[in-house]
Structure 1
Amino acid sequence: MADEAAQRPGPPAGRPGGGRDLTTGRIAPTLLAFALPTLGSSILQSLNGSINAVWVGRFLGEDALAATSNANIVMFLCMAFVFGFGMASTILIGQAFGRRDVDGARRVIGTALGAFILVAVAIGVLGWIFAPNLLKLLATPAGAAPLALAYLRVIFIAIPSSLILIMLMMAMRGAGDAMTPLWFMILAVVLDSGLNPVFILGLGPAPKLGIAGSATATVIANYASLAGLMIYMYVRDLPLRLRGKELAYLKPDPAILKTILVKGLPMGLQMIVISASALALVGLVNREGVATTAAFGVAMQLWTYLQMPAMALGAAVSAMAAQNIGAGKWERVSAITRSGVMFALLITGVLVVLLAIADRPALALFLGGNSPALGIARHIQLLATWSFLMFGVTLVLFGTVRANGSVIGPLLILFIGLVPVRLGFALGAYPRLGADALWLSFPVSSFSNMALGIAFYLHGGWRKSRMQIGGRPAPVGEDECIEEALADAEPGGRLNPAG
C-alpha cells in the first residue's frame, strides 16, 4: 500500500491554498516569495509578544514585566521537545511533497498529531502542577515570583493548543503552503493583543484579572485560531486534511513514529540546549536586580525582531531544500543555501542598523522614558545586538543540513557554543567585566556557532545522511550518495531565547 501511495501524484503547484512546488523555477525569487509569509508570521508573533509586554509593563509595572520574562523562558523549555518533533515531521512532509507523495505526507501528519496531542495535554497539566518549582529553579526575584506564578499557570492552559497549532503550521510550510499559517497567525495576534487590556483592566463585562488576564487573552486567541485553522483545512480541502479512511492515520504508524522520534529528539534537544543556556543566563541576570532583569527582558523582546527574519529564512530554506532532496534535485540545494545566507545577512543587517538608530524610543515603549532600566537596556543592546548577523548565517546552514536528516551536528555545535563557550565566557569574564560579561557572551557564542556551522556545512558529510521511514529509505536521485545514516546510533535525542 505504501508503494502504491508513493506513486500517487501530488496536487498541482498552483492549487489555491494547497501548497507550492519548490523544486522548479528561479531559486532566489522562489525562496524569498516562500519566506516572506513565514517572515510575516514571525514578525506578527514577535509583535504580539511585544504589544503584550507593553500592556503588562505600562499597566502593571516592572515586577510584572520581569515575571512574564521569567515565565516565558519556562514555556520555551516545556515546548522544546514537541517543537523538535514538529520539525522532523515538516522535513518528512516536505520530502514527500517533493516526490509527489501526498498520501505519504498525510500519514506523517496523522502520526504526528495522533502521538503528540496527548504529549501536549500532559505538558499543560504537569506545567500547571510544577510551575512553582520551575520558577524557583530560575531564582525568580521575590517581587516578581507571585506574578510569574499567576501568569504561568494560566499560560499552561494554552500550551496544548499552542503546540498543535505550531505543528500544523510547520507541516503546511513543509507542503509549500506559507500563506495559510500567515492568515491564522494574524487571527491569533489580533485576538491576543486586543484582549490583553480587556482582561488585565477588566474592561466592559470582562473580569479584572491583572497579569493573569494577559495569559487569559493568549488562551482564547490560541484556541480560536486552532479551531479556525481546522475548519479552514476541511472547507478548502487542503492536502494535509484527513478524511474517511484517512482518519485511521491518527493511529501512529510505528515506522513513521520511530523516524520522527529518532530525528526529532535531537532537534528538540537543540531547543533544550538553547533554553537551558537562557535559563542559566537569566539566573545570572536575576542576581543583578529587578531593574536589570526588566532591562534584559525588554532587550529580548526587541531581539525577537532581529531573530525572526533569520528563523523564517531558516525554516523556508529547510522546507525548500527538503522538497528538492525528495525530488533528487541536489544541484539546487547549495544555491538555496547561498540565497538564504544572502537574504539573512541583508534583512538582519538592516534591522540591526535601524535598532541602533532608534533604540531609546523603542525601549521606552516598554519601560517609559524615566525608568532606571532604560539605560541598562540600551547598554545591553549596544554590546549584543550585532551578534544576530552571525546567528542568521548559522540558522540558514542548519536549515539545509536538517532537511536531509542530519541533526546530530547542529546539536553538538549549539551545545558547544551555548554551554562551554557562552556560559564559560560569562562566568570566567564576570570578575573582570561585571555584568558586561553576560552581554558580551552573545557575540562570543554566536561567532563560535557560525564558525563551527560553516565548517560542518562544508566538510561535515551531512549529505550522506538521509531521512528514512523505518528501514525503507525514500527514493533518491542518481547523484545522491546512497549511504544511509545509522539512525539507531544517534542519541535518543513564542519566546525565542537569543541564539
Structure 2
Amino acid sequence: MFNNFIQTLYNLSDTYWVSQLGSDEVAAMTLVFPVIFLILSIAMGMNMAGTSLISQYIGSNQEDRAEKVASQLFSFLLVLSTILGLGGYFLTPTIVSLMGGQGNVLLYGSQYLSIMFLEMPIIFMFIVYNAIMQGQGNTFTPMILNVAGSLLNVVLSPVFIFGLGPLPFMGIQGAAIATLISRSIFVGYGIYTLFIRKDGINIRKKYILPDFKVLKKIIKVGLPASIGQSAAAFGFIILNMFVLSYGDSALAAFGIGNRINSVVMMPAMGIGNAIAPIIGQNLGADQIPRARSTFKTSIAMSTTFMAVGGLIAFTFSESIIKIFASGDPQVIALGTDYLRLISLSIPLMGIFQILNGTFQGSGHTMYSMFINMFRLWGLRIPMIYILGRVTDLGADAIWYSMVTSNFLICVIGMGIYLKGNWEEKIIDEEDLDELKTDASKKALAS
C-alpha cells in the first residue's frame, strides 16, 4: 500500500507542476497516458506470469525452475522493451495526431510521450524486478527503491520543468526527463542486485540465453493478461477521445480526477498485489482453503478502505480539484462532478482489484483478461456511446457509464470466482515429474 501511495504521490506531483503550465499541458499528458499504459500492458502481463509461476514453483519447492523463469523474463523483456521504445520514439507525433491531438495538445503530447518511450526499457526492468521479488513475497525491497525514485522525481520535476541555474525552461518535456533520470538510477541498482545476490530467487547468467520451453510457459500465462491490459489501455484511448470531444477542459478534469482517484485506490491496489503471491504459493502447496480465506479477508479489508476513501473524496471533492485546476472554473466544475460521482463506485473497484489479484496469482489470467476487456469494451464504451446519443447529459454520460460498468463487472467477476476453476494449479504434471526425478537422482548420488 505504501509503495502505491508513494507512486501516486509522484503522479500527483507531476500533475501539479504540469498544471502550473496550463490546462493544455494537463490535457496533453492525459491524452497520451493510455499509450504509455498500452505499451506497459505487455510487461504487466508478463509480470503477472512471472509472479504466478515463481510463487507456485516456490510453493512446490522448485526454486531452480523459479530462477529459470526469472532469468528468461529479464532477457525477454529487455529486448522487447528496447524495440518498442525506439519504435515508439520515432512514431510519437503520428501517434498523438491519430488520437485526436491538435494544436498545443499535439505539441505538448508529443514532447512528453517521446521521452516516455525512451524510458520503456527502464520501466520494463522495474516490472521484472517487481515480479521476481513479489513472487517470493518480498514487497518491501521494491517499495524502498520506488520510494527513493519517486522522492527524487518530486525534487527534480520542478527543476527540469521550470529550469534552475544552467538548466533552461523545458516545460512538460522536463517532467518526463525528471522521471527518466529518477527511475534509471534506482532501477539499475535493483537489477544489479539480482545478479549478485546469493540468497532467494535471482537472475542467473546461465539461464539468460533463450530457453523456448520456459518462454513458451511465460507467454502462455502472460499473454492473456497482456491482451486484457492492452485492450483496457486501448479502451482508455478511445475513452479519452470521447472525453476530448467535450473539450480540452473536460479532458483536463478527467485526468485530474483520475489521479486523485488513484490515491484513494491505493489500499485496494496494494492488497490486490499482495494476494497474488499468497494465492500462488498456497495453490502450489495444495492449500486451497487458505487461498479461499485469503480472498475473503482481502475483500473485507479492501472494501472497508475504499468506503472510507470514497467518503473523503466525495466530501472534499471541490477543494481537492481546485489544487490542480490552475483556477480554471470549467475544469473545477467538471472535475468536481466527476470526482463526486466516481467516489460512489470506489468500493466496487476494491472488489475488482481483489478479483484481478486472485486470478493473476492463480495463473488463470484468461479470467483477468476477460474482466479487464469486458468492463471497457462490453460495458463502458457502448454505454457512453448510447447515452451520448440519446441523452443530453454531456460529459456526465461518461461518468455515469463508468460507475455502472464498475458495478456490473464486479457481479460478473464474483460469478467467475464462485465457479472455482481458478483453484487449479498452472504448473503441470511434467514439472512435478521432473522434480521427483531430480530428487531421486540426488538421493541416489548421496
Inter-partner Cα distance in structure 1 for 2:3 and 2:14: 16
Inter-partner Cα distance in structure 2 for 1:370 and 1:110: 50
Asked whether 1:123 is paired with 2:77, we answer no
Asked whether 1:49 is paired with 2:8, we answer no
AA aligned to 1:267 is: A
Task: Give the fraction of aligned pairs with identical amino acids, expressed as a percent.
Answer: 26
More deviation, 178-187/272-281: 272-281
Equivalent residues of 1:430, 1:436 under 8 A apart: no
Asked whether 1:441 is paired with 2:393, we answer no
Aligned to 1:211: 172
AA aligned to 1:450 is: C
Q: Aligned to 2:290, which of 308, 318, 332?
A: 332
Equivalent residues of 2:280, 2:363 under 8 A apart: no
Q: Aligned to 1:357, which of 307, 315, 326?
A: 315
Inter-partner Cα distance in structure 1 for 2:198 and 2:159: 36
Asked whether 1:421 is paired with 2:383, we answer no
1:165-176 matched pairs, under 5 angstroms: 165-176=126-137
Q: Aligned to 1:223, which of 174, 178, 184?
A: 184
Inter-partner Cα distance in structure 2 for 1:117 and 1:233: 15
- Secondary structure in structure 2 of the residue aligned to 1:472: helix
AA aligned to 1:416 is: F
The two structures, once aligned, show a CA RMSD in angstroms of 1.8
Inter-CA distance 404–235: structure 2 relative to 1 (3 Å threshold): closer
Aligned to 1:248: 206
Asked whether 1:151 is paired with 2:112, we answer yes
Q: Structure 2 length normalisation: TM-score?
A: 0.93
Inter-CA distance 384–169: structure 2 relative to 1 (3 Å threshold): same
- Secondary structure in structure 2 of the residue aligned to 1:421: helix
1:61-76 matched pairs, under 5 angstroms: 61-76=22-37
Unmatched 5+ stretches in structure 2? 434-446
Which whole-Å deviations, capped at 9, do the CAs of 1:240-276 have from their partners, x for residues lacking one?
334xxx3111113222111111110100111112112
Richer in helix (by share): 2
Which whole-Å deviations, capped at 9, do the CAs of 1:127-155 have from their partners, x for residues lacking one?
10111222123212433110110111111
Which whole-Å deviations, capped at 9, do the CAs of 1:92-123 have from their partners, x for residues lacking one?
11112222332222111001011110001111
Equivalent residues of 2:132, 2:202 under 8 A apart: no
1:126 deviates by 1.0
More deviation, 170-179/410-419: 410-419
Inter-partner Cα distance in structure 2 for 1:317 and 1:342: 13
Inter-partner Cα distance in structure 2 for 1:473 and 1:442: 43
Inter-partner Cα distance in structure 2 for 1:155 and 1:472: 41
Aligned to 1:468: 427
AA aligned to 1:156 is: F
1:52 deviates by 0.8
Equivalent residues of 1:52, 1:214 under 8 A apart: yes
> What number of residue pairs does the alignment pair up?
432
1:232 deviates by 4.2
AA aligned to 1:467 is: I
Aligned to 1:453: 413
Inter-partner Cα distance in structure 2 for 1:252 and 1:75: 27
Equivalent residues of 1:467, 1:474 under 8 A apart: no
Which whole-Å deviations, capped at 9, do the CAs of 1:459-483 have from their partners, x for residues lacking one?
152324x3136x72448xxxxxxxx
Inter-partner Cα distance in structure 1 for 2:375 and 2:123: 29
Inter-CA distance 230–402: structure 2 relative to 1 (3 Å threshold): closer
- Secondary structure in structure 2 of the residue aligned to 1:163: helix
AA aligned to 1:415 is: M
1:339 deviates by 0.7
Inter-CA distance 271–356: structure 2 relative to 1 (3 Å threshold): same
Inter-partner Cα distance in structure 2 for 1:267 and 1:474: 25
Q: Structure 1 length normalisation: TM-score?
A: 0.83
Aligned to 1:196: 157
Inter-partner Cα distance in structure 2 for 1:371 and 1:474: 63
Q: Aligned to 1:273, which of 205, 225, 231?
A: 231
Inter-CA distance 460–427: structure 2 relative to 1 (3 Å threshold): farther
Inter-partner Cα distance in structure 2 for 1:309 and 1:272: 24
1:233 deviates by 4.3
